[in-house]
Structures are given as structure tokens and as C-alpha cells.
Amino acid sequence: MAIEIVADWNQVERYRRDNIRTDIIDFNGYWGGNLTIIVPAEWSVEIEFINGSSSFPHSLMVTRVYAQSEMPVKLTADDAIWGAYTDPPEGIKINERRQLNFVAQQAGSYFLACARQTHLMDGHWIGFEVRDSIEQAVAIIDESKFPQEQPPGRP
């Protein structure tokens, strides 16, 4: 499976609308688990990660699921599942790209998260699930996890 993930996809729209959602940084327009990518177990996953921000470094990491109350201030390489993270974990520069290649080895629920300080706590993550019983990848949008004034995806 190949997918392109862009950090801070909605920044232009955010500034156009008088900087609303300043505390929310997204992946492809999604954040805080309002999108979950689901892949079959043992699939090879290739992610083209792009830092679309004009302001901050960002990273991408497969990590375990965290409850809001237990989220670490920042993630390190040791937090990566299957060694899947962009290097350095603190983030790549503005407009840089990195390939993230891994095998979805074990069924379960995970996060695709930014490891940069406070970004996970601020909602810079989406869901990632590995399932034994499916034959193709899917993406599920959870409409209930969006503020009413902020519809899902790219504006």
C-alpha cells in the first residue's frame, strides 16, 4: 500500500479564516483520530511523508495508542512500532519529504503521530489499524470527532 501524508495540510485555510484552529495541526486535513487508515496484517506499507507547514518541523511515527491523559510530551525513536518513524523524530524541515516503509506485522490499533514536542498532545495524530480479516486497505472518517465549524478534510 502506498499513501501520501502531508503535515499541516490545512494551514493556508486556517490563516485565511483569521487563524482559527491554531492549536490543531493535521495530516491531510485530519487530526485527533477523526481518520483511521486500516490495512491488512502483513502488508507492506509505503508512506511518502511531506512537511507541508510553513512554520514548524513535523515528523511521522507509528506508535501505540495513548489515552489523552497519558500522552507523552514528545515521542522518541524508542516509541516507534516496527521501527517506523521519520528521522529525526523531532521533525523534518519545511517542505522536506521522507519515505516511511514498514510491514504491518501485528493486528491491532496504533497511531500515526507527529513526535515533535506537544504535537501528539495537541491532536497531531490519526488512527492506524492492522486487521487479520480484511483483504484491502480502507480509510474511515469519524464525523463525530470534528467541531461543527470545522468540517473534515481539506476545505
- What rounded mean pLDDT belongs to the chain? 89
Can you read off the three cell numbers belonging to residue 18? 483569521
CA distance 85 to 89: 7
Stretch 67-72: mean pLDDT: 94
Strands 138-141 and 35-40: antiparallel
Whether residue 155 has pLDDT greater than 50: no
**pTM for the full model?**
0.89
pLDDT at 145: 82
Cα 25 to Cα 9: distance, rounded to the nearest angstrom = 8
Question: pLDDT tens digits, residue range 39-48?
Answer: 999 999 999 9
Virtual CA dihedral for 130, 133, 136, 139, nearest 10 degrees?
A: -50
Average pLDDT of the segment spanning 101-114? 98
What percentage of the chain exceeds 90 in pLDDT? Answer: 74
- Residue owning grid cell 495513548: 66
